[in-house]
Structure 1
Amino acid sequence: MASSRGGQQVIRGGDMEKMSLEQLKAVKEQADIEVNLLQDSLNNIRTATARLEIASTALNDLSLRPQGKKMLVPLTASLYVHGTLDDSEKVLVDIGTGYFVEKTMAEGKDYCERKINLLKSNFDQLIEVASKKKTLADEAGVILQTKLKQLSPSS
């Protein structure tokens, strides 16, 4: 009926037709849950990619500003303070969980680009997995409806 691969069950096309109604419902519900989780992950990746692209653009803009330039520095999304650009060749890069690393401007740009490429690669892989799970959920739903129609008395 289903083979086990790395702790996951892999369901083949013809196997679902042999399943009971309860098994089909469970397969559909599980696939729907997984699709929703994957959609959340895809949204998180989109958000992270957008933030990194904004950071990359900000680095490019910052690298063009002369030393001693007065500017507004964002402390939060809505709070800015006046500041002066001391050195545009050194930047602090947020590497996660509150840790920052000092890098050169070129290293900062490279870091952003590598992270963006990694996220885009992960996004593409998740799209593929989500598509397969959605197909599985749809197939289970169709087979479940067919079986339910066969069980109900004809009108």
Structure 2
Amino acid sequence: MSSNKSSDEPQQIDLTKLNLPQLQQLKMEFESELSVFQESLQTLVKCKGKYSASKEALEQIKPDWENKEILVPLTGSMYIPGVVKSIDNFIIEIGTGYYIEKDLSDSKDYFKRKIDYVQEQIEKIDKIQVQKSRVLGAVQEVIEIKVVAMQQAAIKQTA
């Protein structure tokens, strides 16, 4: 039997055995990773907000809206007049210029699934971010300990 660890398992490093430049490099790498995770979280939260807004808009549709005049948003602040031709026929953008046609129920379900999926991704990234933050904290502690030890050694040499 082999006792080799799977390549999926994270590698454990004894931080106290690393020298100061190695620890500082490790610290920079974790700070960089945390920055990327934070940007990803912000993007996912915005995405979830857009899906939620779309689902909420669908929830507002009433059966008596057929042939009703409405304002159609072109941008966040610009609208044009339009007429609702069918309350059970929607064209939904699914990304990168692709659209699908769905009825009201399927449209609501689509956005609900998207919201749930994005929330799962937010939770996964948040969990990883917490773990990376803990390791970064440990690296910073070891750096501080080594700096203090170096200062004390320098004081002893000069005395």
Normalised by the length of structure 2, the TM-score is 0.87
Is 1:10 aligned to residue 15 of structure 2? no
Hey, what's the Cα distance between the residues in 2 that align with 1:133 and 1:23? 17
Residue 66 of structure 1: CA displacement? 1.8
Is 1:119 aligned to residue 98 of structure 2? no
Q: Which runs of 4+ in 1 moved over 4 A?
A: none
Unaligned runs of 5+ in 1: none
Hey, what's the Cα distance between the residues in 2 that align with 1:39 and 1:95? 25
Hey, what's the Cα distance between the residues in 2 that align with 1:61 and 1:30? 47
**Counterpart residue type for residue 142 of structure 2:** I
| Corresponding residue pairs, total | 150
> Is the partner of 2:86 in helix, strand or coil?
coil
Q: 1:122 to 1:65 in 2, by over 3 A?
A: farther
Structure whose alpha-carbon radius of gyration is higher: 2
Is 1:47 aligned to residue 46 of structure 2? yes
- For the 8 Å contact 1:68–1:84, the answer to whether it is kept is yes
Hey, what's the Cα distance between the residues in 2 that align with 1:133 and 1:65? 53
Residue 43 of structure 1: CA displacement? 0.7
In the alignment, which residue of structure 2 is the partner of 1:60? 59
In the alignment, which residue of structure 2 is the partner of 1:75? 74
- For the 8 Å contact 1:42–1:123, the answer to whether it is kept is yes
**Counterpart residue type for residue 102 of structure 2:** K
Residue 5 of structure 1: CA displacement? 3.6
Residue 22 of structure 1: CA displacement? 1.3
Hey, what's the Cα distance between the residues in 2 that align with 1:65 and 1:5? 59
> Is the partner of 2:11 in helix, strand or coil?
strand
Residue 67 of structure 1: CA displacement? 0.4
Is 1:132 aligned to residue 131 of structure 2? yes
Residue 9 of structure 1: CA displacement? 6.1
- For the 8 Å contact 1:59–1:105, the answer to whether it is kept is yes
> Aligned-pair RMSD on alpha carbons?
1.9
Give identity over the alignment, percent: 25
